[in-house]
Amino acid sequence: MILKVEFQFDFGSPNAYLAEVAIPGIEQRTGVKFDYVPVLLGGIYKATGNMSPFDSLRGIKNKPEYQALETQRFIRRHNVTKFRQNPFFPVNTLMLMRGAVAAQFEGMFEPYFRAAYHHMWEEPKKMDDLQIFRSAFISSGVDIDRLIARAQQDDVKKRLIDLTNDAVSRGAFGSPTFFVGKEMFFGKDQLRDVEESILEQTRLPARERA
């Protein structure tokens, strides 16, 4: 029985972008591949009564500065070189996340995923503007018109809703969220614990992981 490890992401989360940079190293060290699970962060916030740090940290003395310091520490630790703050943040990610589900259905996920993160957090753009969205993916060689059409179909919309609701039902309240078997971890700063849990659980007999 193979251990299931999930990375639940929304392209609108800069912390999910930063966390994903570290995932290949964890996969290499543990031999376990992550499942990339698109969720709609706005839907998670609505269902849980949560809000983004952009809103929750507003007006708080010292905490936003400390969060920025921790982000810089993470960037140095993982040698993140391409990250740029998106000047249009927060961006409505409904199109992006439906596109991710459509790309999974169409076998186009990897190029779509890389292009989406590139245009959100490496060469940041206002990716909730349809014209900018379309031009960005075309420039990255993605057949985005095919995915735009696919993303309008009911099965794609339902799949994103179902994934989002499932995340909430299992305890998620934001992104990035990780599941290692049944164990949940939240945030990029928990990746060390994610890796430790993978190593611990892969040593367990299958019946003890169920």
The confidence score (pLDDT) of residue 2 equals: 84
Q: Which of 47-56, 107-116, 156-165, 180-189 has the lowest mean pLDDT?
A: 47-56
Average pLDDT over the chain reads: 93
Beta bridge partners of 186: 177
Please determine, for residue 96, whether its predicted confidence score (pLDDT) is greater than 90.
yes
CATH number corresponding to 5-203:
3.40.30.10
Cis peptide before 53 (omega within 30 of 0): no
For the segment 8-32, the average pLDDT, to the nearest whole number, is 96
CA distance 198 to 181: 8
For the segment 165-173, the average pLDDT, to the nearest whole number, is 97
The confidence score (pLDDT) of residue 92 equals: 96
Q: How far apart are the first and last CA of the chain?
A: 9
| 128 closest CA partner among 85, 157, 94, 164 | 94
Please determine, for residue 1, whether its predicted confidence score (pLDDT) is greater than 70.
no
Helix orientation angle between 144-151 and 94-105, rounded to the nearest 10 degrees = 100
User: Within a 13 Å sphere around the CA of 56, how many CA atoms are in the beta-carbon half?
Assistant: 9
Please determine, for residue 209, whether its predicted confidence score (pLDDT) is greater than 50.
no
Q: Which of 43-52, 55-64, 85-94 has the lowest mean pLDDT?
A: 55-64
pLDDT per position as a tens digit, 66-87: 988 999 999 999 999 999 999 9
The confidence score (pLDDT) of residue 203 equals: 84
Q: Is 13 a catalytic residue?
A: yes
Q: Which of 13, 139, 140, 175 is catalytic?
A: 13
Parse the chain into domains and list their residue ranges.
5-203
DSSP H helical ranges for the chain: 14-30, 41-48, 53-56, 63-77, 94-105, 109-121, 130-139, 144-151, 154-169, 191-202, 206-209
Q: How many residues does the chain have?
A: 210
CA distance 92 to 69: 26
- How many CB atoms neighbour CB 49 within 10 A? 7
